[in-house]
Amino acid sequence: MRSDSRPPLFLTVTAIGGLLFLHLPILLIFLYAFTTDERTYQFPPPGLTTQWFAVAWNREDIWPPLYLSLKVAALSTVMALILGTLCAAAMARTRFFGRDQISLLIILPIALPGIITGMSLRSAFSIMDIPFSTWTILMGHATFCIVIVFNNAVARFRRLSGSIVEASMDLGANGFQTFRHVILPNLGSALLAGGMLAFALSFDEVIVTTFTAGQQSTLPIWMLNELVRPRQRPVTNVVAIVVFVTTFVPILIAYYLTRGGAETAGGGK
Amino acid sequence: MSLTAEPSRIAQPARAILPTRGLGDRISALFWRHPNVLLITLLALPLVWLVVVYLGSLAALLLQSFYSIDEFSGQIRREFTLSTYGELLQPANLDIIIRTVAMSAAVTLGAVVIAFPIAYFAARYAKGHWKALFYLGVMLPLWSSYLVKVYAWKLILAREGIITWATDGIGASAVLNGILALPVIGGNSLSTSYIGTWLVFLYVWLPYMILPMQAALERVPQSMLEASADLGASCWQTLRTVIFPLALPGIIAGSIFTFSLTMGDYIIPQIVGSSRRFIGQAVYQLQGTAGNIPLAAAFAVVPIVIMLIYLTIARRKGAFDAL
């Protein structure tokens, strides 16, 4: 193999082909939101129209799921930020008995398939006769969002030089002052990035939610129902665009917040 | 002498100027003297949450799988039995398990083949802006909405969709029909065949394979490739005997994700696929409409057991260092 820096043509073609494979399908969602064809997925679309955005806006059944999704995502982000940061602060530098087990426990909710997390919670609710509510949805979401915040925060904690904490203490600050004035400003962007990703993950989650939601529906559950029993198919596309943008923007922000660091956000979804 | 005349002024040292110590200082000092107290304080809340909510639920899942359903009343009988696990061995249920494992293996293999060029290019040739582009190019599909991605493929694979249109356009519809006419993996249209299900799984989980693979490839030292070339190896030989073995931990790490995620998914085969069920669908239907939570729980234990075996093997191969 030659050691020059020009890639072989075959490799370039397959690599770029692979990236296109990852990106082109999403574009179709945008195209189909403008089609005049309501009943099939005909390609190319017989005509183009913007009426579906207005139709979607006026559909009463879309708003409650949207509110619920935003509420659950916001609350589980807050919970994940608190629990994840606490874990990261404890685990970043110290070594102690059971440390590996704890890090496994943090990763487990996202390492095991969603259906296991969902079915486990469903079993527990059944055994303890807990009725489904917004809180049951929240319990699932907060659990798997912890690891996202943890990953971002722990990487930043490790990068944070220990000497600035020592300097802060030498200058007479106590632990809380050091946290408030030294650690938190350094941690800020990593936490913001982790929070953004947790929000995106929760807003979009469907598998665990179907097991913990009962009769309520979040926006992804609404979408799933429309996929199985479609009516006004282009409206589903409009909602898909909303979901896509609502998750896409926080992800991009998270990327720019942690760019250049060792912890570039999202590496450990 | 004046020294003896005013002894108190000189002998008594000036008092140090110490700030008043508030509660925060006292607690900080306690944490400084006993680091374990700090550790426990930090970990208490998250650990209680994870142990009670998550491990508690997993225990509940196990417990449910040892219960059974009363055939007459449809109520859950809360006494220990292995009969629910016995039901898993019925031919219909065993079929579901085998089908799911086969699909997971096929998806993993496909992901390795497609991910390798992307990961290798990104690890070795992409510099500066290209590197960032490749990173975002993998990260954005990974994070963008799962349902939106599945829906996009529903549009692509539909009978009247873009693939049929494209194959008609280039006069290759005979090829498409030939593929669909294949036994087992074919079907009425791509969106109701195993090929369709496989493609969507592959698409959705591909980034999970690329990232660990790229991380492993980035650790392959340039000097080894040069040594291999100096010793007269061809590109293909270097790939097979140097790069591939060194990248293997990364590939195994990626395969943990693709395998486990495929095994646990129930939405993709429900939306794109034939009516033949996978483990995920069985779990979902049993706990929902059928109300048979014990059997659903037993089904959900199957992927856990398979993944535990898989993880044990992966650990031996050193895959965890590549995560």
Give the model confidence (pLDDT) of B165-194 as tens digits.
888 888 777 788 888 877 777 777 788 888
Spell out the residues 6+ positions from residue A68 whose beta carbon is closer than 8 angstroms to its own.
A134, A137, A216, A217, A218, A219
Query: B135 contacts in A (CB within 8 Å)?
Result: 264
Higher pLDDT, B301 or A38: B301
Of B162, B304, B323, the CB nearest to A28: B162
Residue A148 lies in a domain: yes
Cα separation, B256 vs B309, in Å, equals 11
Q: Does A95 touch chain B (CB under 8 A)?
A: no
Do B161 and B244 belong together in one domain? yes
Residue B79 lies in a domain: no
Residue A220 lies in a domain: yes
Tell me: the pLDDT tens digits for B28-75? 888 888 888 888 888 889 889 889 888 998 888 888 889 888 877 777
Nearest chain A residue to B233, by CA: A1
Residue A225 lies in a domain: yes
Instruction: Tell me which residue range forms the domain holding B54.
Output: 21-65
Of A3, A94, A255, the CB nearest to B39: A94
What confidence category does residue B1 fall into, taking pLDDT thresholds of 50, 70 and 90? very low
Do B106 and B44 belong together in one domain? no
Contact A219, A243 (CB under 8 A): yes
Spell out the residues 6+ positions from residue B308 whose beta carbon is closer than 8 angstroms to its own.
none
Largest CA distance in chain B: 121
Q: Residue B68: enclosing H or E segment and its boundaries?
A: strand B68-69
**What are the DSSP calls for B161-200, one per residue?**
SHHHHHHHHTT-HHHHHHHHTSTTT--SSGGGSHHHHHHH
What would the two tokens of residue B305 be? 């057991």
Contact A149, A85 (CB under 8 A): yes
Instruction: Tell me which residue range forms the domain holding A203.
Output: 60-257
- Does residue B202 carry a pLDDT above 90? yes
What would the two tokens of residue A103 be? 């890090």
Spell out the residues 6+ positions from residue A63 whose beta carbon is closer than 8 angstroms to its own.
none
Of A90, A123, A172, the CB nearest to B43: A90
Q: Is B36 exposed, middle or buried (0-12, 13-18, 19+ CB in 10 A)?
A: exposed
Tell me: the pLDDT tens digits for B74-105? 777 888 888 888 888 889 899 999 999 999 99
Mutation site, A41, A123, A125, interface B, largest B CB count within 10 A: A123
Residue B38 lies in a domain: yes
**Is there a contact between B263 and A106 if contact means CB atoms under 8 Å apart?**
no
Residue A46 lies in a domain: no
Cα separation, B151 vs A28, in Å, equals 10
- Does residue B109 carry a pLDDT above 50? yes
Instruction: Using the 3D structure, point to which of B65, B100, B118 is the last residue of a domain.
Output: B65
Residue burial A171-200, b: 16+ Cβ < 10 Å; e: rest: eebbbebbbeebbeeebebbbbbbbbbbbb
Angle formed at CA A109 by CA A122 and CA B299, multiple of 5 degrees: 50
Do B110 and B172 belong together in one domain? yes
Please give the C-alpha separations between residue A53 and each of A105, A239, B20, B155, in angstroms, as whole numbers. 43, 9, 64, 19
How much is the pLDDT for A226?
A: 85
Residue B77 lies in a domain: no
What confidence category does residue B106 fall into, taking pLDDT thresholds of 50, 70 and 90? very high
Residue A105 lies in a domain: yes
Query: What is the mean pLDDT of each successive set of 10 residues along chain A, which is 269 residues long?
Result: 65 87 85 78 77 82 90 94 91 79 82 85 86 90 90 84 83 85 87 90 89 87 85 83 85 80 51
How much is the pLDDT for B8?
A: 53
Contact B25, A88 (CB under 8 A): no
How much is the pLDDT for B11?
A: 61
Residue A49 lies in a domain: no
- Does residue B198 carry a pLDDT above 90? yes
Angle formed at CA A81 by CA B22 and CA B49, multiple of 5 degrees: 90
Query: B39 contacts in A (CB within 8 Å)?
Result: 90, 94, 96
CATH number at residue A248: 1.10.3720.10
Higher pLDDT, B258 or A172: B258
Do B268 and B209 belong together in one domain? yes
**Is there a contact between A105 and B280 if contact means CB atoms under 8 Å apart?**
no
Residue burial A100-122, b: 16+ Cβ < 10 Å; e: rest: eebeebbbbbbbbbbbbbbbbbb
Q: Is A243 exposed, middle or buried (0-12, 13-18, 19+ CB in 10 A)?
A: buried
Pairs of residues, one from chain A and one from chain B, whose beta carbons lie less than 8 Å apart: 280
Residue B16 lies in a domain: no
Spell out the residues 6+ positions from residue B91 whose beta carbon is closer than 8 angstroms to its own.
none
Domain count along chain A = 1
Do B191 and B57 belong together in one domain? no
Cα separation, B219 vs B318, in Å, equals 14
Q: Does A36 touch chain B (CB under 8 A)?
A: no
Cα A111 to the chain's mean position, in Å? Answer: 14
Residue A23 lies in a domain: no
Cα separation, A140 vs B55, in Å, equals 12
Do B191 and B265 belong together in one domain? yes
Spell out the residues 6+ positions from residue A45 whose beta carbon is closer than 8 angstroms to its own.
A31, A32, A34, A35, A36, A37
- Does residue B6 carry a pLDDT above 70? no
Of B121, B136, B147, the CB nearest to A223: B147
Percent of chain B with pLDDT over 90: 14
Spell out the residues 6+ positions from residue A147 whose beta carbon is closer than 8 angstroms to its own.
A84, A106, A107, A109, A110, A268
Q: Is B4 exposed, middle or buried (0-12, 13-18, 19+ CB in 10 A)?
A: exposed
> Of chain A residues 165-194, which have a CB less than 8 A from chain B?
172, 174-177
Spell out the residues 6+ positions from residue B74 whose beta carbon is closer than 8 angstroms to its own.
B291
Query: A217 contacts in B (CB within 8 Å)?
Result: none
Do B166 and B37 belong together in one domain? no
Query: B235 contacts in A (CB within 8 Å)?
Result: 1, 8
Contact B117, A15 (CB under 8 A): yes
Kindly tell me the sign of the dihedral angle through the C-alpha atoms of B28, A104, B212, B227.
positive
- Does residue B323 carry a pLDDT above 90? no
Residue A209 lies in a domain: yes
Please report, as a single letter, which amino acid is at residue A255.
Y
How much is the pLDDT for B318?
A: 66
Kindly tell me the sign of the dihedral angle through the C-alpha atoms of B17, B23, B28, B31.
positive
Do B57 and B112 belong together in one domain? no
How much is the pLDDT for A2?
A: 44
Q: Is B121 exposed, middle or buried (0-12, 13-18, 19+ CB in 10 A)?
A: buried
Contact B136, A255 (CB under 8 A): yes
**Is there a contact between B304 and A116 if contact means CB atoms under 8 Å apart?**
yes
Domain count along chain B = 2
Cα separation, B307 vs B104, in Å, equals 11
Of A94, A116, A139, the CB nearest to B300: A116
What would the two tokens of residue B178 be? 């030939």
What would the two tokens of residue A43 be? 């390609």
Residue B99 lies in a domain: yes
What would the two tokens of residue B315 be? 């650990």
Cα separation, B106 vs B122, in Å, equals 24
Do B45 and B163 belong together in one domain? no
How much is the pLDDT for A75?
A: 95
Do B262 and B134 belong together in one domain? yes
